[in-house]
Amino acid sequence: MSILSSLLGNAGTIENEKLQEKYGKLLIPSEEIEAGFKIIRDTFIFTNKRLILIDVQGLTGSKIQYFSYNRENEMY
């Protein structure tokens, strides 16, 4: 299953207020959440400055990886 088909077929949207509560600490000054999607346990957050991916791993979900892609395609 590709990411594109997942985004188009199996992704559920998340309200911006819930995203702000849970992931607001990841935002930089003047950054605003525009949209968020959840696929199984992973979350995709689109902001006005970058894309944030939250990858939950393992059976218990105890390991979480965060990826950040800005407009220049640099990963942090």
Range of the domain at 38: 3-70
Contact yes or no for 43/14 (Cβ under 8 A): yes
Number of domains composing the chain: 1
Residue 5 has a pLDDT of 54
**75 falls within a domain:** no
pLDDT over 80 (residue 25): yes
**25 falls within a domain:** yes
**76 falls within a domain:** no
| pLDDT tens-digit readout, 35-64 | 999 988 899 999 999 999 999 988 887 899
pTM of the entire predicted model: 0.77
Q: State the SS3 of 9-76.
A: HHCEECCHHHHHHHHHHHCCCCCCEEEEEEECCEEEEEECCEEEEEEEECCCCCEEEEEEEECCCCEC
| pLDDT tens-digit readout, 62-72 | 899 999 998 76
Residue 70 has a pLDDT of 86
Q: What angle do CA 6, 18, 30 make, to 5 degrees?
A: 95
Q: Which residue has the tokens 């218990």?
A: 60
